[in-house]
């Protein structure tokens, strides 16, 4: 298959327009490959690299000069910075502090502390908290306000 890339600033930034002849037999395989590629992140653990589906991550956070990607059962290291992750993660991932992005799909509940910090508990029992700097943004998301 020949591939021709034409830059088109009239389409959305997160969109790719693919034109394929309907008689091409590998169309479904090609589309499946694209979907799978865009839905996984490569992460490291014990000198091994694993492709993990994005929706499996409950959070990404920084600590000890590393960025960690946590699933329900495992924790990995990832080479991307948090600001890079923000641009590629789906809408259910929300920045809650300078050092953390969470997946709202895995949150059990939120509770507001007296100091204006939102405490967050995930379904697997892991707990974290937001910073006051992100309080307004989190409330907008939780209450669908803008």
Splitting the chain (146 residues) into consecutive groups of 10 residues, what average pLDDT does each group show? 82 78 79 70 95 95 95 95 91 92 94 85 93 84 67
pLDDT of 29-52, one tens digit each?
A: 777 766 656 688 999 999 999 999
Give the pLDDT of residue 37.
60
Q: Can you give the pTM of this predicted structure?
A: 0.72
Give the pLDDT of residue 2.
78
Q: Does residue 70 lie in a domain region?
A: yes
Q: Does residue 15 lie in a domain region?
A: no
Closest CA to 98 of 146, 53, 133, 55: 133
Q: Does residue 3 lie in a domain region?
A: no
Write the CATH number for 91: 2.40.50.1020
Q: Does residue 21 lie in a domain region?
A: no
Tell me the residue range of the domain where 67 lies: 27-143
Q: Does residue 114 lie in a domain region?
A: yes
Cβ pair 106, 123 in contact under 8 A = yes
| Residue environment code for 126-136, b if the CB has 16+ CB neighbours within 10 A, otherwise e | bebbbbeebee
Q: Does residue 46 lie in a domain region?
A: yes
Q: Does residue 134 lie in a domain region?
A: yes
Closest CA to 51 of 40, 59, 67: 40
Q: Does residue 56 lie in a domain region?
A: yes
């Amino acid at each position: 298959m020949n591939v021709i890339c034409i830059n088109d600033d009239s389409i959305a930034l997160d969109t790719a327009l693919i034109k394929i002849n309907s008689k091409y037999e590998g169309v479904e395989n090609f589309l499946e490959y694209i979907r799978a590629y865009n839905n996984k992140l490569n992460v490291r653990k014990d000198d091994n690299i694993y492709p993990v589906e994005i929706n499996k991550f409950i959070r990404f956070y920084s600590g000890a000069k590393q960025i960690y990607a946590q699933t329900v059962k495992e924790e990995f290291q990832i080479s991307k910075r948090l600001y890079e992750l923000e641009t590629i993660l789906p809408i259910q991932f929300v920045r809650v502090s300078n050092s953390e992005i969470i997946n709202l799909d895995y949150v059990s509940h939120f509770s507001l502390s007296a100091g204006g910090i939102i405490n967050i508990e995930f379904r697997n029992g892991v707990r974290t908290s937001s910073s006051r700097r992100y309080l307004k943004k989190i409330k907008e998301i939780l209450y669908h306000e803008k």
